[in-house]
Structure 1
Amino acid sequence: NLFEKTYHEKSTTAKKPFHKVKKYSHYREMLNDKEIDAVVIASPDHWHAQMSIDAAKAGKDIYCEKPLSSSVAEGRAMVDATRKYNRVFQTGSMQRSWNQFRHAVELIRNGYIGTVQKVYVAIGDPYKSCDLPTQETPSNIDWDSWIGPTQYRGYHKDLACPIGDKRWAQWRDYFPYGGGMITDFGAHMFDIVQWALNMDNSGPINFEPPKIYSKKGLKFIYQNGISVTHKKWGEANNEIQFIGSEGRLEVSRRYLKTYPNKSLAKKPIDKINPKRVYLSDNHHIDWLQSIRKRKKPICDVEVGHRTATVCNITNIAYALQRSLKWDPINEKFINDPGANLMLDRTYRSPWNYRDF
């Protein structure tokens, strides 16, 4: 019962199309309900790991919104808990179920623009340090529960859900509640890069922030030499641009374009024995079908973790303002104890996401 007005509105709405819908004051109360098979987690980012792991322990299958985690350590624990309790876990990176992104990935994997050399991704800024002043807490907000496992700080409206207000949820900008647009939109767009480059079980090995401080311009590089450069939000319609040895591909939520052969964007793959990717046109249906078949969905927890790792390390590199060498197998920075300290975040008692 964190926000009484929304709590009432949502439970009332749910009861209109469906009968006997229960409402709960605390998610752990819901997890104890034996009639529930699966849960959707669309909480603020700082709750994702604890809620997902608790759900796995309770035997529930999970759909968790992106970004999967707020730290690399949380993400790996989410994978481990999912595997330990044999759960079906879909990460909410729904662009993997969009036709233009799937077609873009198949064009790239089948060599239609030649060998990929460079990638440019237009997303927003890294996170801000949270130095907001404390404001009076509204009487209808359980602020302690909203903060949850994160280190406590006083109420500020920008850290709360914007109830009755159409502004963007500002908590996304402030670590440790969110990771800025690097995690918020990067979880979508870097995810497509990972998918296209067939890196769902790995990631970049070098992260290079700009030499002069900026909120854009960071470059990360994969083992095969492909570089990915972070561009400013709003540039080129927030698209992903793949530069190949024989052409260019641009994809966004609005379009898919290919150069110099513009027809590739609309033509089906016509190669003999083409490289295909998982077919899904509805992210939630894919999850439900995977639950019934007890198989991994299109964006399994490991996939979501690997993309979140790219996002979280990008934020670390911006924060430290120095080059970082990453080991995607052991999930540690190489010869950098200071950076390795940033791979986890401090939880406050009694919360402990590692307890599974």
Structure 2
Amino acid sequence: MSSLNRRQFLQSAAPLILPAAVLGRAGAVSPNGKIRLACIGVGGQGTSNMNAFLADERVQVVAICDVDGQHRDRAMKTAKLTKADCYNDFREVLARSDVDAIMNATPDHWHSHIAIAAAEAGKDMFSEKPLGASIGEGRAICDAVTKHQRVLQCGTWRRSGMKVRMACELVRNGYIGELKEIEVGVPGTFAVRGGFTGLEGPEAVPAHLDYNLWMGSTAERPYTAARCHFNFRWIDEYSPGYITDWGAHFVDVAQWGAGMDDTTPVEVSASQVKRRDKGLYNAPEQFRLEYRYANGVKLTMFSTNDKATYGTKFIGSEGWIFSESEVLKASNTDILRTKLKDSDTKLFVSKHHHRNFIDAVLSRGQVAAPAEAAQRAATICHMGAIAAKIGQPLKFDPKTERFEGNEAANGMVTRAMRGPWKI
């Protein structure tokens, strides 16, 4: 695309969506058989994802997109591309006919806009957690993926871990007895990067950053470096802190082990909620979120400084299992020595989260962390964040994804959006 065409392209105020048929491809891959991948959002997590895809011999990274020119240039060198294949605006990337799939590791408030546009443009996607920045946005992503028959792998990578799968299979098959309760421990105190305090004042926007595009659909705010990149997650209008940051991972494991991927709890309450009394970083820093599923199983997410409790603990009538990445513990080591019977439920096996995505793009088969499962896990996190704001117990309908009898809570199901950015 020439520089003139790029300028013309960006003159449109509203997001431009181009279907695959218009672009001249309808699911076809490149002539050399490789999946042509564009990486959108190449900060820390995005670079990690990009490197994983660069290590896959079936993938060719063909484009880089980031609103931060420094991130862009660094990723360009890693991917061995030129500036002609580097973009500030994701819409230009989606307009390319030689892009089969995207990796999306932008801040949470960009997840839905990019994922929906990618689906409508005929691109498959590896999209970071949480699926959406709100319950409504996640549902819109699921609808777009289904409508356009796209592959979406959410970045909840623990579903590709052998020990996590073992824990969930043992729970599913009753080897701790009847499941009674699930405990999810996450950090509370913010791990702020860059030496910021959240008390920084406005400053000039650096030349390498398109700050207006970084803000996107969120409210216009004065620029400060303390607001952007990794530390956005401590600011409540962008993210409720660790509730969705780590919670999306561990609640996803809880859902998998409990066999609840198609539903959510029906009740939620929040207590022990504490926030900083001044500054930018105003997401909940301490909290206890209690949920109840329709079958009576209780789920609790709590903030803690005890790192040994970071993860997911399944508590049954005959024992417990704790899972976090490569850590697998049980109330009795005999539980962990259990060999599944032929008749036992076996869960989907993925040995590598990124490679599983490419497997599915090529085969149109199953992914470890599909959109619907990711939506339910993220919804649980958002339910807790909303309860923490409302300050009273809430009832939730998993079918309609609405709160019962509380319009204030329902007003938070989807974020308010600025300017032309809608879902």
TM-score (normalised: structure 1):
0.90
Alignment of 1:152-301 (within 5 A): 152-161=220-229, 169-210=230-271, 213-214=273-274, 215-235=286-306, 236-260=308-332, 262-265=333-336, 267=337, 269-301=339-371
Alignment of 1:1-356 (within 5 A): 2-15=67-80, 22-125=85-188, 133-161=201-229, 169-210=230-271, 213-214=273-274, 215-235=286-306, 236-260=308-332, 262-265=333-336, 267=337, 269-353=339-423
Distance 2:256 2:367 in 1: 14
Deviation at 1:348, TM superposition (A): 1.2
User: Is residue 182–residue 315 contact of structure 1 (8 Å, CA) maintained in 2?
Assistant: yes
Distance 2:237 2:249 in 1: 20
Deviation at 1:9, TM superposition (A): 1.4
Letter in 1 for 2:393: S
Question: Which string of whole-angstrom CA distances, capped at 9 and with x for unpartnered residues, describes residues 89-124 of structure 1?
Answer: 111100000111100000000111001111111113
Distance 1:270 1:195 in 2: 17
Paired residues, what number? 339
CA 1:75–1:132: 2 relative to 1, 3 Å = farther
User: Is residue 126–residue 179 contact of structure 1 (8 Å, CA) maintained in 2?
Assistant: no
Could you say what secondary structure the match of 1:217 adopts? strand
**Structure 2 unmatched ranges of 5 or more:** 1-65, 191-197, 275-285
Deviation at 1:23, TM superposition (A): 1.7
Distance 1:60 1:77 in 2: 16
Question: Which string of whole-angstrom CA distances, capped at 9 and with x for unpartnered residues, describes residues 264-290 of structure 1?
Answer: 32x353324111110111111111111
User: Is residue 124–residue 180 contact of structure 1 (8 Å, CA) maintained in 2?
Assistant: no
Deviation at 1:213, TM superposition (A): 4.3
Could you say what secondary structure the match of 1:218 adopts? strand
Distance 2:103 2:304 in 1: 29
User: Is residue 122–residue 234 contact of structure 1 (8 Å, CA) maintained in 2?
Assistant: no
User: Is residue 186–residue 309 contact of structure 2 (8 Å, CA) maintained in 1?
Assistant: no
Question: Which string of whole-angstrom CA distances, capped at 9 and with x for unpartnered residues, describes residues 305-331 of structure 1?
Answer: 111100111100111111000000111
User: Is residue 68–residue 308 contact of structure 1 (8 Å, CA) maintained in 2?
Assistant: yes
- More moved, 21-30 vs 79-88: 21-30
Distance 1:227 1:126 in 2: 25
Letter in 2 for 1:29: E
CA 1:36–1:175: 2 relative to 1, 3 Å = same
User: Is residue 46–residue 70 contact of structure 1 (8 Å, CA) maintained in 2?
Assistant: yes
**Structure 1 unmatched ranges of 5 or more:** 162-168
Deviation at 1:60, TM superposition (A): 0.3
Distance 2:123 2:304 in 1: 37
Distance 2:244 2:396 in 1: 18
Distance 1:286 1:248 in 2: 30
Deviation at 1:145, TM superposition (A): 1.0
Letter in 2 for 1:257: K
User: Is residue 159–residue 369 contact of structure 2 (8 Å, CA) maintained in 1?
Assistant: yes
Deviation at 1:248, TM superposition (A): 1.1
Aligned-residue Cα RMSD (Å) equals 2.0
Distance 2:115 2:254 in 1: 25
TM-score (normalised: structure 2):
0.76
